[in-house]
Chain A
Amino acid sequence: MPADTGVVAPDRALPQRRFLSVDNRFLPPLLITCILITAHLSFGILESYQRTALAIATAMAAELLMGRLTYGAWPNPASAYITGISVGILVRSPFFWPYVLCSLISITSKYVLRLRDRHLWNPSNFGLSAVLFLAPDTVSHLSIQWGNVVAPMAVIWLLGFVIVWRVGRLHISATYVAAFLALSFVRSAVTGTPWLATVAPITGPMYQLFIFFMVTDPKTTVRDRRWQCIVVLCVALVEAALRLNEVIYAPFYALFLVGPCALIIERLVLRSK
């Protein structure tokens, strides 16, 4: 679900954006590492160190090997690192094999499911959706809340928004959050469920990863800023429809369905022009 391969936004070199001297490419990996370490040291969010390490190692090894063999050059492992860490956080299973296979499926999908020069699915979204769908008895996703205090959650939201702003994706995250909140009112009205219950999921860490890393992935989003907002709005709409049908993994499945469709349509439109 992470921002894959080269989360590089054009550096417009505005002084105010240089408040950190870190290269933009390293911000998402840094953020997700911070999330991981903070969450685990504070609350023990990981299933286990070994499982997360296994997911990261598998993703990075697969990326290096497949990139080298396919293109004859060593790829930058940063995006595979994010994929692995996302799998390590988001997959919940008492077994080890889902971590290996989810990472492997995620990375492999980048090399197989492509349209011209772009892969169609955000890798970890594809891997996670696949194992959730195919292994319902043994795999679930992260479904918990960070601790019980507002501060760490607020810090991560703030940090996340700053970073997506720096990489030029704030409009995507903001559109999604606004759409989710609005649609939660609709779902509450339709189902009679208290609004706070319908809005509750977005307060959890799973959504922070989803919003900051998955829906903003530059390689699997359309290029036009306005259409990026429309696509993520569609993701939120499909997710709401799935939620109304009590699909628990709704956000992942929604992105799984909408993301590639948007890319294909974009490709067709560009070709017709």
Chain B
Amino acid sequence: MTSNQRRLAWQAIWTLQLVAALAAVVVLNGRAAGSSAPGGSDAVRRYGFRLEQVNTAAGIDFVHAPPTFDRQLEHIMPQIASTGASVTVVDFDRDGWQDFYVTTSRQEGRNRLYRNQGDGTFRDVAGEVGLADLNRAGSGASMGSVWGDFDNDGYEDVLVYKYGRPELFRNDHGKTFQAVTERANLPRWVNANAATWLDFDRDGQLDLFIAGYFDERIDLWHLQTTRIMPESFEYANNGGRKYLLRNRGDGTFEDVTERMGIGSRRWTLAVLAADLRRTGYPDLFLANDYGVPELFANDGGKRFVEVGRTTGLGATPKSGMNASAGDIFNDGRLAIYKTNISEPNVLVQGNDLWIPSAGGSPGKATGDDRIPEYENLASSLGVDLGGWSWGAQFGDLNNDGNQDLYLVNGYVSAGERSSYWYDFSEIAVGHSSIIGDAKNWPAMRGRSFSGYQRKRVWLNDGLGRFTEVAQVVGATDTYDGRAIALADFGHRGVLDAVVANQGGPLLLYRNSVTPGRHWIQFALEGSRSNRSAIGARVEVQWDGRRQLQEVVAASGFAAQNQRPLHFGLGASTAIDRVLIHWPSGREQMIEHPSVDTLHRITEPNAG
């Protein structure tokens, strides 16, 4: 064979290689994008549950209304006013039924507190108890709420965070709510999309963390300048400051943010306070828009140290919008789910599922030997592509003993045949002097921006694979989802879902699980620990399996799940033991608790 013939022969082989590689791209792309489970009449039997939209039957007619800001922002108003639909679950009157609170954001719009009447219906009592009228002119627009018993009187109090003045209400025995903002010494104005309760120093008093989004010096209704936008699409550091407010135990709070080492000015959209390093102290995970997430490691309640980059989860800047935690492998490790943006043909950030190094702790030695290394396994497990993703929650939707994942999405649904994405793609790469000024942003002109998206419900098979089943099981709405919360509203041993949509109706999905699947729930009440038991960890061991859950306040985006922890057990009818790690440091073990039961457990005083 001459060298020329050899060259021609190899070129023929390379041609085949090129064709094969191009074909592989198409196949792999299709496989990743079209991972929905097959439908069909046996889908419910196959996946073990179905969701049914019942908001109308349940007496829920709430529709969120977005705020309207300064006219200088008129051209991009749907973006600036793209948050505010929130939902938090609470049993505010201690009647044993889970209620929920939702916010609207238009000036003079009224928030609602839906009281569970125990018969499958809900009644709005916000006006009666004093939690409705929170969008008055000059006070800002409600963005969300978070519940915690900060005065340890047994009734859950609530912070409503806003683009404006945060408002704290003390729950007076489930009858009325008393505004205590002034006395509590809260900041005067925070443009916040996230807040949570935590007991960072384990003194038994719930402290408060509020995360700013826009700079707190900006009044969005009366702009002094249009230079209010992020200085970069992925490296912005000009957002709102954070507030760590220590509960003095006398109804007032002390700003300890700087002293505790939290100096972030990133654009935070979600916060999770959980004991991610198993030190007994809650750490703070911040999902930030326009940048990297941050993990503030709690150093024994004395200070926080930002270890995001060290742990690996703070390396890649994306558009963080959610923070929730779940033990997806049933091995006692809490994975963190952070949502981002994925838009075909434009921007594929992919959501993040951060798994700590095996064993949970310790990890990489960095002075603190409990700093874990995190690995993003979202792609490997198939939970990465969720559109313009917002809130997501872990929960065992089919009671098979594994934590599933329910995600809502969609940014701005407007003109169905027009998209703002091209214009956004131009401004997003601009230098800070361009992107940072709202007047440079192209007008939206009624165009959609990742609108009308299908939701995602990923079923965890417990073997390292999630299957997307949303359309099959009934989660079929295409509103602009923001917040989702999971709760057992009917004492049926299943997790229902309530979804808050931006500029859209609140949806209640009633869950029906195939009979024969068992469960157990724990409602904890602290004594030495904070009474809400926020920070308590419960590990259920059964049938050679174990699952860890932690009581947290805020979870997801602008949401809070029910306080009692719900564990699906599959076909098992017996539990070996339950370990409870109280925030005070006390450990408790319960042997063979009965299944299919909600156990109310008060922290023991002795031992």
Q: Is B233 an interface residue (CB 8 A)?
A: yes
Q: Is B590 an interface residue (CB 8 A)?
A: no
Q: Is A21 an interface residue (CB 8 A)?
A: no
Expressed in whole angstroms, the Cα–Cα distance for A164 and B552 within the complex equals 56
- A100-117 CB contacts (< 8 Å) to partner B: 101, 104-105, 108-109, 111-113
How many pairs, one residue from A and one from B, have CB atoms within 8 Å of each other in the complex?
191
Report how many residues on chain B are interfacial, defined by Cβ distance under 8 Å: 63
CB <8 Å contact, B378 and A145: no
CB <8 Å contact, B422 and A200: no
Q: Is B490 an interface residue (CB 8 A)?
A: no
Expressed in whole angstroms, the Cα–Cα distance for A111 and B18 within the complex equals 10
CB <8 Å contact, B232 and A147: yes
CB <8 Å contact, B426 and A148: no
Give chain A residues whose Cβ lies under 8 Å from the Cβ of B17. Answer: 104, 108
Expressed in whole angstroms, the Cα–Cα distance for A96 and B384 within the complex equals 13
CB <8 Å contact, A95 and B426: no
Q: Is B177 an interface residue (CB 8 A)?
A: no
Expressed in whole angstroms, the Cα–Cα distance for A92 and B18 within the complex equals 21
CB <8 Å contact, B379 and A95: yes
CB <8 Å contact, A148 and B428: no
Expressed in whole angstroms, the Cα–Cα distance for A111 and B33 within the complex equals 31
Report how many residues on chain A are interfacial, defined by Cβ distance under 8 Å: 61
CB <8 Å contact, A248 and B33: no
CB <8 Å contact, A248 and B421: yes
Expressed in whole angstroms, the Cα–Cα distance for A247 and B120 within the complex equals 50
Q: Is B425 an interface residue (CB 8 A)?
A: yes
Residue of A nearest to B237 (CB): A148
Q: Is B57 an interface residue (CB 8 A)?
A: no
Expressed in whole angstroms, the Cα–Cα distance for A122 and B208 within the complex equals 56
CB <8 Å contact, A206 and B429: yes
Give chain A residues whose Cβ lies under 8 Å from the Cβ of B428. Answer: 143-145
- A17-75 CB contacts (< 8 Å) to partner B: 43-44, 46-48, 66, 69-72
Expressed in whole angstroms, the Cα–Cα distance for A196 and B226 within the complex equals 15
CB <8 Å contact, A137 and B315: no
Q: Is B605 an interface residue (CB 8 A)?
A: no
Q: Is B224 an interface residue (CB 8 A)?
A: no
Interchain CB contact (< 8 A) of B233 among A98, A104, A144: A144
Give chain B residues whose Cβ lies under 8 Å from the Cβ of A93. Answer: 348, 350
Q: Is B137 an interface residue (CB 8 A)?
A: no
Residue of A nearest to B431 (CB): A203
Q: Is B571 an interface residue (CB 8 A)?
A: no
Known: A48-B315, A145-B232. A135 touches B25 (CB 8 A): yes
CB <8 Å contact, B316 and A135: no
Give chain B residues whose Cβ lies under 8 Å from the Cβ of A197. Answer: 423, 426-427, 430, 434, 440-442
Stretch of B8-16, B97-105, B295-303, B461-469 that contacts chain A? B8-16
CB <8 Å contact, A134 and B422: no
CB <8 Å contact, B315 and A92: no
CB <8 Å contact, B292 and A92: no
Stretch of B186-194, B339-347, B363-371 that contacts chain A? B339-347
Give chain A residues whose Cβ lies under 8 Å from the Cβ of B33. Answer: 137-138
* CB proximity of B19 to chain A, nearest CB, Å: 9
Give chain A residues whose Cβ lies under 8 Å from the Cβ of B315. Answer: 44, 48
CB <8 Å contact, A95 and B32: yes
CB <8 Å contact, A144 and B234: yes
- A127-147 CB contacts (< 8 Å) to partner B: 130-132, 134-140, 143-147
Residue of A nearest to B317 (CB): A44
Q: Is A76 an interface residue (CB 8 A)?
A: no
Give chain B residues whose Cβ lies under 8 Å from the Cβ of A92. Answer: 347-349
Would you give 24 A-B contacts (Cβ < 8 Å), ordered by A? A43-B317, A66-B14, A70-B10, A70-B11, A92-B347, A94-B378, A94-B379, A105-B22, A131-B25, A134-B22, A134-B26, A135-B28, A136-B344, A144-B235, A144-B429, A145-B435, A148-B432, A192-B443, A197-B423, A197-B441, A200-B429, A200-B440, A201-B425, A203-B434
- Chain A residues with CB under 8 Å of chain B are 43-44, 46-48, 66, 69-72, 92-98, 101, 104-105, 108-109, 111-113, 130-132, 134-140, 143-150, 153, 191-194, 196-201, 203-204, 206, 243, 246-248
Contacts A143-B233, A153-B431 supplied; 19 other A-B pairs, CB < 8 Å: A44-B315, A70-B7, A70-B11, A95-B32, A96-B379, A101-B25, A101-B28, A105-B18, A105-B22, A134-B26, A135-B29, A140-B348, A144-B235, A148-B232, A148-B432, A193-B443, A200-B430, A200-B440, A201-B430
Leading 4 A-B pairs by shortest Cβ distance: A94-B350, A200-B430, A137-B33, A246-B422
- Chain B residues with CB under 8 Å of chain A are 3, 6-7, 10-11, 14-15, 17-18, 21-22, 24-26, 28-30, 32-33, 231-237, 292, 309, 315-317, 342, 344-350, 376, 378-379, 384-385, 419, 421-423, 425-432, 434-435, 439-443
